[in-house]
Structure formats: C-alpha cells, structure tokens
Structure 1
Amino acid sequence: MQGGQAPRGILRPLTAAALIVVVVLPFVFILLQAIFPEIGAGSFARPFDHLHATLGSEDFTRQARNTLLLGVGVVLASSVIAVPLAAIRALYRLPGALIWDLLFLVPFMIPPYIATLGWILSLQPMGYLQQLTGVNLAPFLFSYPGIVFVMALHSFPVIYFAASRSFAAIGSRFSDVSRVFGAGPGRAFWRVTLPLATPALAASLLLVFAMSIEEYGTPAVLGAQFGFEVLVTGIDTSISDWPIDLPKAALLSLALMAISLVAFAMQKRIATARDFDVVGGKTPRAPTRSLGVWRGPALGAFALVAFLSTGAPLLAILATALSRTLSGGLAVSNMGLQNFEAVLSDRSGALSAMGTSLGLGVIAALLAGLLGIAIAYVTRRGPKPGGGVIEALAMLPNAAPGVVVALGLILLWNQPALPITPYNTLAILVLAYVCILLPQPVRYTVAAFQQVNPSLEAAARVHGASAARTAQRILMPLVAPSVLAAMLLVFTVAARELVASLLIAPVGTDTIGTYIWRQFDQGSVGEGMAVAFLAIVVTTLIPLAILSAIRKFERSASAQQAAF
C-alpha cells in the first residue's frame, strides 16, 4: 500500500503548488497592490494611502453604479425574453422544439465582442438596417438600453435552458389543480408554476448578473460612444492609458470581485438550498398541451428571438466580410471574396493570429484539463483535510473577470526581484487562459469523479493494482468523456479570448481577438470580420467534429460488446 499511496502523496503538493502559481499569486499581488501603492518598486510604504482618493472619487461611484445598473438591466431583459419562451417550450407542444434549442445555443458560439461588432455594423448611421429600410437606430444602440439589448441577446439562453428544464420537471399537473378551482391559465402559471421553479430560475438570473458585470467587449465598444463607464472598462483604462495607475486598477478589481463573489454566493446558496418537492412516487408527468390558436404567435416569437440573437449578428459579420468596401454598402457589385483571400494569403498576419490562438487554445485546454483531473483526484479520492481548500482555490477565478486576471499577472510577473519571468512571452497568455477557465474542467471532472463508485477502485486494489494503475485503467476511462468535454470548452473560449489577450499579449503578437479588435479600430473592418467568421466556424466545428467522432466510437464499442 505504501507504493500506492506515494503517487497520491506527491500529487497533492504538486497540485497545490500549481494552483498557487496559476491562481493564488496573481490575486495576492492584486491585494498587495491595492494595499501598498508602491509595492511595484519593492516598497511597503504608505499603506492604504490612495484608498480614499480612489473609492471616494466620482469616477468610482459612477463606474460602480453603472456596473450594477448594467447587471440588473441585462438580468431583467434576459428574463423578459427567456421566461415566456421557456414556459412555451416546456408546457406546450412546440413544433421543432429541438431545433429552437439548437438555435438558442448558437449565441454561446459567437463571442460577445464579435456579436457587438456585428450589431454596430447593422445599426450604426448608414449601417445595414438603414440601407435596407431607411431606419436609423444608432441612437438606440449607443445608449444604456442598447447595451442591455445586445448583452441580453447573448445571455438569455442561460435562463431559457434552466427555466425550460425546471418547468418541464414541474409539468402542468399542479397548475391544473388551480384551474379546477377557477384560476385562469395566466394566474395558474404566475401563482403556481413560476414559484415552484424559483430556485433554478433565481440561480440562472444571478449567473447572468455575474456574466454581465464581467463583460468587457460590449461596454468598451458601445459605452465609449456616450460615456458609459463600468468597473471593467475603468480597470482597463487605468492599466492601458497614461498615466498608468496600478493601485487604482487593483482597488477597482477588488470592488468588482466583491460584487461577483456576492452574486456567486447567492447563486450557490439558492442552487444548494432545498428545492420544492414537485416529484414524488410514480406520479406521471402531465402531457403537454396544444398551442391551438397561439401556435403562429409562439413560432413567430421563437423565430424573432432566434433571428435577433443568432441570424442578425452572423449575417452582418458575413456581409462585411464579403464587402469590398464599407462605403459600397450591400450592392451586389460590392460583394466578393477579397477579404477572405487577404486573410488566407496572410498579408496582414491574420493566419498567424489564428494559428497562434488555436495553438494557445490547445495548450491551455491540455494544461487546464490535466490540472482539473489532479484537483478532482486529490479532492475526491485523497485525504479529506485540505481538499476543500484546494477546490475553493480552483473555483476562485469564477469571481474574477479576465481583466482582473490580466492585472494580477502583470503585477506578479513584473516584480523586479524575479530572476526569470514569462511576461512578454506566449507563456503569459497560457497562464491567463488556464487561470480564467480552470473552473470549467474542475467542475466537470469533480462531477465525473463523484459518479464513479469507489468500490471499483477497491476491487482493483484487492487484485493487486497500484494506485497509479488503478487510476490509469479504471478512473481515467470513466471520467475521460467529461474531461474531454471540458477541454473542448476551454479550447473554444481560449481561442477567441479578448480582454486578457489585449492587455498581456507579447509585443508584436496577435491572437484572433486582438486581431479583430485592432482591425476594427484601424478601419480594416472587412478583413477583421472575415477572420471573425472563420474563427466562429473553426472553433465551433472542431469541437463538434471531435464530440461526434467520440460518440460514434462509443456506439461502435457498445455494439461490439453487445455482439459478444
């Protein structure tokens, strides 16, 4: 047994050391910078000297207020879109229900900043909408309601899928009882079905809130047009604009993390609280109802939301990628493949940027997956003391936007006393991606480990297998599908990440996100949108193809086992 315990005993300190480097130290240096304004020069003088000047300023008050307004606004708008659609999807026979679900997943495949650029191209003065209809909605787009509208179209699927699954589990039998006692359909839903779904619905609302206050691209692009600053853009300004104010950026980061932590604490409390008991015994689920005369309006509502959230941004991106010049508009004579030819010829470094991002995405996915496996193993199969701390540290990036992680890495790896640093190399981007996305493989892998009965490992150990061999032959094959799914998610997000890449990418290096962003700033919008379209296709099809191949392999293996 001693040989079996050795790998586990080594794995725990190695995992803890990796977490300290990847996660803990960046946040520690943010805290130190927030307390000691001269820590970058190696001095602990004048602690908290800048605290009142930063937190008492009008800028901070405005940015904090706007952050909360943005989060609440996106939550409300997402709810207005998602809850009625979820109720129709779950409680009624909706034609093409699975197709609508698939279409509502697509917004997650489009990075928010790319979708925002698509909306700018559509609604700006003389944009595509004005060219086609003569309607100018630029004043709406470049306003608080416009930012909320664009962000809600990206966030509403979180609520839609959570609410529809909850409504489906509840069914209509409870509301039917209220109908017997005279309640109308609306009152029955409002007083019975909706309250029963409150835990799942509230958790998804808080998740949307956290996503909204951490988003950088949309507030940075749209808010800059009318002076709408939030904490995320304030941090970016403090880091990137002269004079650079790292102490202010650190304090703003702590304030943003505090808001995020409160939101996630509320989400966890609601998610883990006791749910309403809506299923018991063998009570059959009540059948869904026909939409009747509401069939047409319901399909129209689903089609409208699918077009606004998926179709409109993609069409705007593709139209721009095919346009020879923006001034030429949507005329057939202005359409061509010149932008794609320029991208594929790599005249402006587009292919290099895509290759860099895809390569970094693969490396980040592998490292995050391996670290996620190690964390899950030591917390679910190792000794209990310390396991909770390791898991909590691994989930800490949940409360940190990419801009906060980037700031922590800047502060950590620019210390004068360091003999060697990954700063200004591609390694710093890998560290950023792994830190930002680590909670995903940890969450997936921990759940997979929980589903594996420890008796399987015990049986292997009884028959003489070491801990390492047991993990290799028993645990890893069983958790591999979940780990792979998490790694594909890390790859997809890392390959198109924006804010950390903008702040810490090495000089002269472009990723997909920075290339598109800079092309838009420099006026080469066509090539930028061509890269955006190719990036969406590539980073969507590659994971889907891999998952499809795995499913075919699993079905083939199952068929062979059944044959024997």
Structure 2
Amino acid sequence: MRAKEIGGAAPAAWLAGIGLAVIVVVPFAAVVLQAIFPNLGRGSFAEPFSLLLATLSDIRLVGMAGNTVLLGLAVVAASACLAVPLGMVRALYRVPLAPLWDVLLLVPFMIPPYIATLGWIMTLQPRGYLEQIAGFNLAPILFSLTGMTLVMTFNTFPVVYFAVSRTVEAVGSRYAGVGRVFGASPLRAFFHITLPLSAPGLAASLLLVFAAAIEEYGTPAALGRRAGFEVLVTGIDSRVSDWPIDLPGAAALSLVLVLLSLAAFLVQRWILNRRSYQTVGGKPQAAEKQPLGRLAAPVLAAFAAVSFLATGVPMLAVLATALTRTISGGLRLDNLGGGNFAAVFGGASGALAALGNSLLLGVLTAAVTGVIGAVAAYAVVKTRIRGRTAIDVLTVLPNALPGIVVAVGLILAWNMPALPFTPYNTPLILLFAYCCILLPQTARYATAAFLQIGDNLEAAARVCGASAPTAFRRILLPLIFPSLASAMLLVFALASRELVASVVVAPVGMQTIALFIWRQFEQGSVGLGMAMAFVTIVVTTLLPLAFLALLRRTGLVAA
C-alpha cells in the first residue's frame, strides 16, 4: 500500500513542482543570480558580487531603504492607532448600525490603492474638490510622508480592523471580566488580558499592512516623487524603465526589498513565539456585548468619520471626476455629464480592449493558480513523498516577493538572447507575473481545506479500486471547492486590476485596466481614466459576488 500511495502521489508532486518552478523559482532565481553575477546577461559569471557590493554601499540605497522602512512603519502605526480602537469597540460593545460600518469599511478592499490615491489627489490638490468647496487645499500635506501615510492607511487599515474585531469577539470579555473580579481596572484588564490574547491576529494583520506598504507602487509613485521621497519600489522601477536600463542594479534593490519582507515575517514569528497565547479553560464563551451608554454618540461619530475618509472620499472623487466634462470647469452642474463613461464603452483610447485584456488575464490567473494551488496543497497535506516541504515553502515564498521584484525577475529570466522561446513581450509574461504574485491565495486556502478533511475518505476510495487522480477528482476536489472557489474569485479581482507588474512587463502596445488608468492621468485625460476606474471597481466587485451567488444557488458553495 505504501508503494501504491507513493506512485499515486508522484503525478501530483511533479505537476505542482513544474508549475511552481516556472512561476516562482524562475523569477526568484533570476533576481538572485543577476544580483550576484552582474554580467550574467552576457553569458559571463565574472566579477561575482562586485555590483551587489557597490549597490549596497551606495548612499542613495541607504536613503531608499530607510524611506521604505519608515513608510512601512508609519503606515503600520497609523493603521494600528485607527483600527485597534474601532475593532475593540466593535467586538466588545453593541455598536449601532454595526453591519453597515462593516460593509463601509470593507469597501477599501475593493478600491485598488492607486485609484484611491488618484482620488485623494483630485480632492486635495490645488484647485481640487476641497478647495472648490471649502476654499483651501491640503497639497503640502498630501505630497509628503504624512500624506502618503494617511492615504495608504485608509486603504490598508481594514485588514487590522477586521482581524482585531473578529479575534477579540472570539476571545470575548470573559477573561477580562475575571480579571475585573480580582481587582484589575478596566484598562489593566484590557492591556494584560484581552490585548495579549488577541496578539496573534493583531501581529499577523500588522505584518500584512507592513508588507503591503513597502511593496506598494502607486502611492509612492504618484505622491512620493513630487515630495522627493523615493522608496525601493520606485527606485527599482526607475532602473528598469529609464535609460540607461540597469537590470543588475534593479536586481540588487529587489533583493533588499525581499530581505525586508522576510525580516517582517521573522519579527512576527519572534513576537508570537516569545510566549503562549492559548487559553486553558476550554472554548471561551463570549459574554453579551456591553451597551455604549454615553459613548454611543462619539463612537458613531468616529465610525462615520473613518468610513467617510476611507470609502466616501475616494469613491466620490472618482465618480465626480468621471462625470466632469473638463477638469478646469470644476464642480458645476453644467460641467457634469456621462461623456467619459460613453467614451469608455465606446472604446476610446482602447478602453474596451484594456477591460477585456484584464478580465481575461484575471480569469486565466484564477484558473492557473487554482489548479497549481490545489495540487500543491494536496501533495503537501495528503502525501508523504519527498520534497513536499520544498513545495510548501515555494507556495509561501511569493508572500515575500513584492510585485516589482517578480516583474524584475521575469525580465531577467525571459529576456536572454539565447532562449529558443520566450514569453517576454507577450501577454503570457503578464500571466506569469500575476500567477506568481497571487499563487499563495489559492494555495493557502486549499491547504487549510485539505487539513480539515480526514484521510479515511481517500483511503476508502483507494480500497474500492479508485486511482489517486480519480479519488482527488471525485472526492477531495468537491470537498475543497468552496474554499478554493472563494480564493479564485479573490485572485480574479486582484489580478484584473494589478498595477506594478503591468507597468513593468506589459507587452508593447498592450493595455490593461491599470495601465489604461495610469496612462490617462499621465496624458491629462483624467476624466476618462476615472470613468474606467469606476467601471473597474464595479465590475471587479460585482462579477465575483454574482459568481459566488450562482455557486450558492447551485449548491456548490454553502450559503
């Protein structure tokens, strides 16, 4: 039976290994090798580490790395200050209109960061919407580290808010209540009981915020460059996009960015391993949430203000700009109309082609990552073959590879003159980039689903004569499909509007949604770009929701 098990598992391992090698190993290895061997593009391994050492000793790199860490930590601190109090209040007290606030604070997930940034620019810049309404602008604040921090915080803090609110709600107030019985003040009970028990979820969410902040391209490119605040992502983009092209230098900067991401993961593990966060009294029963009393009005005002800033301002700015005939005409009724939306659906400047390209790439990315993620998770969880640990590591590695690093790696790997075939300068290179960036989504969901399925089901099928592929297709795949489908829908939404990889590796003459919007702003067609942005938000939100509703109606996903 052991030999039969290994023989049946081998195809899954080979399929997962080949897919992960092409999608993950190739770009990562290319970055590492190019950083070490600067003449690798010319087929030479001479002077190893020479350019890497020169780049790492460059004072400009120190500045970019310092700015990157500073921006990441600032966004983490601001997100914690904003999200932790709201999440704690949401979890422990009866907040009026709580479901409404949850929905409004979920919307920033649906707004791509670069679109939100463009909305803030239209609002706060000189002669922007704020100046038209109130008579002043906040451009000095917007185009600064403070402005970048606030804009990125409003886009990322929901990660912390939902993690804290759900974790604290699961912990409940039972243990804090026990502490109060033994004489602890409410503040002491919170800091010594409730907050430590919530530390795993809080640490994980803050790590995600830091990782998202240091790899974000749109906000530093749109705001930071005007403020003279260059980070690693924009520095890498300059070396790839501006003449003279410096691929070895881009590879060296990419390695620094990867090391920062890995350091964040190690810090998280160190925090969580320092002490135990487990309870020993069985499953905690959350006490009934407490009334807010006199705090009801301030809490409602806080939720309303944060919801308006995180969701209302970007969405209203996007819609207002999309409906404006001319930017110079301002917010006047005679300057509003649907001409920009008509231009988008009329195919102006290749809008429909860009929309179609992105939706097709989103579907293909969801399909490819779904297959590779499911097979890799099966090989890791349900088999005992050699190499399954390496497969598991490769499914997690893209979490430490920012999108700009993946793009640089793909350029380095597939731009070699001696290659008989290359996907470079074809749509396939974008598919590779999207799959590498988003593969952890499906792999982690599938792994969690497989861990919940006992081994007896597959064993029974094998005893009855089913082959490993048949047991996987007829038994295991239907059981993990709800989790896998949710992950694939998320991948579709993220891939169809991805920016940084599209900017760096998109083929000449091909447009995606993100490229279309970005280039319209660069060319001054702001209204047309914002019309596409609004269509993007609606389409990439409603299509996954509609498909999920269809799966629920057919019974493939639980309601």
Q: Do both share a fold (TM > 0.5)?
A: yes
- 1:562 aligns with none
Match of 1:525 in 2: 526
Q: Aligned in 2, Cα 1:283/1:341: closer, same or farther, shift over 3 Å?
A: closer
Q: Which residue of 1 aligns with 2:90?
A: 89
For the structure 1 residues 125 and 419, does the alpha-carbon distance in structure 2 shift closer, same or farther, using more than 3 Å as the test? same
Question: Where does 1:308-319 land on structure 2 (aligned, <5 Å)?
Answer: 308-319=309-320
Q: Which amino acid in structure 2 is aligned with residue 373 of structure 1? A: A
The CA distance in 2 between the partners of 1:282 and 1:479, in whole Å, is 26
TM-score after normalising by structure 2: 0.96
Deviation at 1:261?
0.7
Alignment check: 8 A CA contact 2:8 2:467 kept = no
Paired residue for 1:450? 451
Alignment correspondent of 1:561: none
The one-letter amino acid of 1:545's match is: A
* 8 A Cα contact 2:72 2:210, kept in partner: yes
User: How far 1:172 moved relative to its partner?
Assistant: 2.1
More displaced, 44-53 or 29-38? 44-53
Quote how far apart the aligned CAs of 1:418 are.
0.3
> How many Å separate the matches in 2 of 1:104 and 1:526?
26
How far off its partner does 1:271 sit?
5.5
Does the 8 A contact of 1:170 with 1:279 survive in 2? no
Is the aligned partner of 1:137 residue 2:138?
Answer: yes
- Equivalents in 1 of 2:398, 2:416: separation in Å? 22
Question: What amino acid maps onto 2:376 in structure 1?
Answer: I
In structure 1, the residue corresponding to 2:287 is in which secondary structure? coil
Deviation at 1:447, TM superposition (A): 0.7
Relative distance call for 1:270 and 1:384 in structure 2 (3 A) is farther
* One-letter identity of the residue aligned with 2:327: L
Instruction: Output aligned runs, 1:113-132, within 5 Å.
Output: 113-132=114-133
Name the counterpart of 2:430: 429
How has the CA–CA distance of structure 1 residues 194 and 10 changed in structure 2, closer, same or farther, with 3 Å as cutoff? Answer: closer
2:168 maps to amino acid: F
- 8 A Cα contact 2:6 2:385, kept in partner: no
Distance 2:324 2:210 in 1: 37
Q: What's the CA shift for 1:282?
A: 6.7
- 1:507 paired to 2:508: yes
The 8 Å contact of residues 481 and 556 in structure 2, kept in 1 or not, is answered as no
Query: Do the aligned partners of residues 283 and 29 (structure 1) sit closer, same or farther apart at CA in structure 2, a change above 3 Å counting?
Result: closer
Map of 1:186-205 to 2, 5 A cutoff? 186-205=187-206
Q: Where in structure 2 are the equivalents of 1:531-542 lying within 5 Å?
A: 531-542=532-543
Could you tell me whether the CA contact under 8 Å between 2:174 and 2:285 is conserved in 1? Answer: no
Match of 2:324?
A: 323
* Shift in alpha-carbon separation, 1:171–1:10, aligned structure 2, 3 A: closer
Aligned to 1:391: 392
- The aligned counterpart of 2:67 is 66
Q: Across the two proteins, how many residue pairs are aligned to each other?
A: 558
Shift of 1:327: 0.6
Whether 1:80 and 2:70 are equivalent positions in the alignment is no
CA distance in 2, matches of 1:433, 1:313: 26
Give the match's secondary structure for 2:531.
helix
Check whether the contact 2:83–2:161 (CA below 8 A) recurs between aligned residues: yes
RMSD, aligned CA? 1.9
- Are residues 333 and 275 of structure 1, via their aligned partners in 2, closer, same or farther at CA, if it must alter by over 3 Å? farther
In structure 2, the partner of 1:57 is 58
Quote the Cα distance in structure 1 between the aligned partners of 2:500 and 2:285.
49
Distance apart, 1:184 and its partner CA: 4.1
Distance in 1 (CA, whole Å) between partners of 2:472 and 2:183 is: 60
Aligned-pair identity in percent equals 58
**Against the structure 1 CA distance between its residues 180 and 261, is the aligned structure 2 distance closer, same or farther, given a 3 Å change threshold?**
same
Give 1:32 deviation, angstroms.
1.1
- For 1:245, the equivalent position in structure 2 comes to 246
CA spacing shift, 1:227–1:440, aligned 2, 3 Å:
same
1:198-347 aligned within 5 A: 198-268=199-269, 270=271, 275-278=276-279, 280-281=281-282, 284-347=285-348
SS of 1:509's equivalent in the other structure is coil
- Return the alpha-carbon distance in structure 1 between the equivalents of residues 208 and 352 of structure 2: 35
Q: Deviations over 1:91-129 (max 9, x none)?
A: 101112222112211111111001000000000001001
Structure 2 vs 1, CA of residues 250 and 185 (structure 1 numbering), >3 Å: closer, same or farther?
A: same
Letter in 1 for 2:46: A
2:378 match: 377
Determine the C-alpha separation between the residues in 1 that align with 2:227 and 2:34: 31
**Separation (CA, whole Å) in 2 of partners of 1:219 and 1:295:** 37
Alpha-carbon contact 1:207-1:267 (below 8 Å) kept: no
Are the aligned partners of 1:516 and 1:529 in contact in 2 as well (CA < 8 Å)? yes
How far the C-alpha of 1:464 sits from its partner, in A, is: 2.2
Alpha-carbon distance between aligned partners in 2 of 1:40 and 1:157, rounded to the nearest angstrom: 43
* Counterpart for residue 30 of structure 2: 29
Distance (Å, rounded) in 1 between the aligned partners of 2:558 and 2:19:
36
Distance 1:554 1:53 in 2: 59
Q: Mean alpha-carbon deviation: is it higher for 343-352 or for 545-554?
A: 545-554
Cα offset, 1:158, TM superposition: 1.2
Shift of 1:392: 0.3
How much does 1:246 deviate?
Answer: 1.1
- AA paired with 1:292? G
Matches of 1:59 and 1:556 in 2, distance apart? 52
Distance (whole Å) between structure 2 residues aligned to residue 18 and residue 428 of structure 1: 14
Q: Does the C-alpha gap of structure 1 residues 96 and 419 become closer, same or farther in structure 2, counting only changes over 3 Å?
A: same
Amino acid at match of 1:173: R
Point out where structure 2 has 5 or more consecutive residues left out of the alignment. Answer: none
**Secondary structure of residue in 2 paired with 1:252:** helix
Shift of 1:293: 0.9
| Deviation at residue 197 of structure 1 after TM alignment | 1.9
Match of 1:18 in 2: 19
One-letter amino acid matched to 1:88:
V
Distance (whole Å) between structure 2 residues aligned to residue 228 and residue 557 of structure 1? 48
Q: Which amino acid is the alignment partner of residue 57 of structure 2?
A: G
Contact 1:170 1:278 survives alignment (8 Å)? no
For 1:6 and 1:494, the matched residues in 2 are separated by 35
Q: Give the conservation status (yes or no) of the 8 Å contact 2:215–2:233.
A: yes
State the distance in 1 between where 2:30 and 2:473 align: 38
Q: Look up the equivalent residue of 2:499 and give its one-letter code.
A: L
Range with bigger deviation, 454-463 or 403-412:
454-463
Contact 1:232/1:403 (CA < 8 Å) preserved in 2?
yes
CA–CA separation in structure 2 for the residues paired with 1:170 and 1:369: 33
The offset of 1:176, in angstroms, is 2.8
Q: Is the 8 A contact 1:141 1:222 kept in 2?
A: yes
Structure 1 residue 21: deviation in Å? 1.4
Between 1:426-435 and 1:192-201, the stretch displaced more is: 192-201
Give the whole-Å Cα distance in 1 for the aligned partners of 2:283 and 2:68. Answer: 47
Deviation of the 1:486 alpha carbon: 1.1
- The answer as to whether partners of 1:200 and 1:271 remain within 8 angstroms in 2 is no
Q: What is the alpha-carbon distance in structure 1 between the residues aligned to residue 315 and residue 226 of structure 2?
A: 23
Distance 1:490 1:525 in 2: 28
Contact kept, 8 Å, 1:394 with 1:438, in 2: the verdict is yes
Cα deviations by residue, 1:294-333 (Å, 9 ceiling, x for unpaired): 1111011111111111111000000000000001111011
Name whichever of 59-68 and 466-475 sits farther off.
466-475
CA deviations over 1:213-232 (Å, ceiling 9, x no partner): 11111111100111100111
**Aligned counterparts of 1:232 and 1:41: Cα–Cα separation in 2:** 26
In 1, Cα distance between the equivalents of 2:124 and 2:142?
A: 7
- Aligned CA distance change for structure 1 residues 347 and 57 (closer, same or farther; 3 Å): same
Tell me: CA distance 1:557–1:256, structure 2 relative to 1, closer, same or farther (3 Å): closer
Describe the shift of the 1:163–1:275 C-alpha distance in structure 2 as closer, same or farther (beyond 3 A).
farther
Name the CA distance, whole Å, in 1 between partners of 2:52 and 2:558. Answer: 62
For 2:465 and 2:525, how far apart are their aligned partners in 1? 64
State the distance in 2 between where 1:428 and 1:42 align.
22
Q: Secondary structure at the match of 1:433?
A: helix
Give the distance between the partners of 1:51 and 1:467, measured in 2 at CA: 47
| Residue of structure 1 equivalent to 2:473 | 472
For 1:3 and 1:180, the matched residues in 2 are separated by 60
